[in-house]
Amino acid sequence: MVELIQCFRNLKYRGKKYGEYTIEEVAGEGRYGMCFHAKNDLQKNVVLKRFKPSIFARNSTNNEHEAVILSKLRDSRIPELLGVINEKSFYAFVLELKPGTTLKDMIFIHNHKFSDEEIYAIGIKLIQIIMYLHENGIVHRDIRIPNVLIDQEDVYLIDFGLARFEDGNAYRYDMDYSYLGDLLLYLIYSSFQKKDKNRQPWYEELPLKRIKSNF
């Protein structure tokens, strides 16, 4: 059923042109809109992040945060905002397409089991990205498995829809580290095989160990 729905969506949008970009396929769909893989006339691959018209009308101020924040950032680990498409019933950000597979797809589609060394490496690289964001006064607020791309040794952080400038109150830097901790525990549990049926807290159940760091 899921594959049929995806096929229908691709048939509906494939080949449609907005601005200089022609849609190739649907990349994903969420509460706020849809993402498409597209190419421009020079065959450059991009992501079009389209907002649902009703959602955009109610949240136009919040949508501006993402554009302003991405315009401020220049880092190879974060997708660059390339432009905005504003046509009738189609408002979208044009974003740089980063290579790789999301952690979510690695777990649920490819059934990947993360080793301790892989989790450690991903954690260190995410910390480095978080530090860069915080140096620029930005809190991501959505560091989860659908928003982290892995391409061999490279790690990318995407989807800045909930990102805000730190204000010491509602948007604090420590929020990102809380999300990071949850993400790393999720990766550990995705590969964990329980040996007994007794319920235990995660810090007793998981075989956590200290890994030597050069960071």
Tens digit of pLDDT per residue, the chain (215 long)? 445 445 556 678 899 999 999 999 999 887 778 999 999 988 899 999 998 877 666 666 666 789 999 999 999 999 999 999 998 788 999 999 999 999 999 999 999 999 989 999 999 999 999 999 999 999 999 999 999 999 999 999 999 999 999 999 999 999 999 999 999 999 988 876 666 666 665 555 666 665 455 54
Angle at 135 between CA 133 and CA 136, to 5 degrees: 65
Q: Locate all alpha helices (DSSP H) within 51-154, ordered by sequence.
A: 53-58, 60-72, 103-108, 116-135
Domain ranges of the chain: 2-96, 101-205
In the block, which residue shows the tokens 């490819």? 110
For 75-97, letters b (16+ CB in 10 Å) and e give: eebbbebbeebeeeeebbbbbbe
Q: Do domains 2-96 and 101-205 have the same CATH topology?
A: no
Class in CATH terms, 2-96: alpha beta
Question: How many residues make up the chain in this entry?
Answer: 215
CATH match for 101-205 among 1.10.510.10, 3.40.50.2300, 3.20.20.70, 3.40.50.300: 1.10.510.10
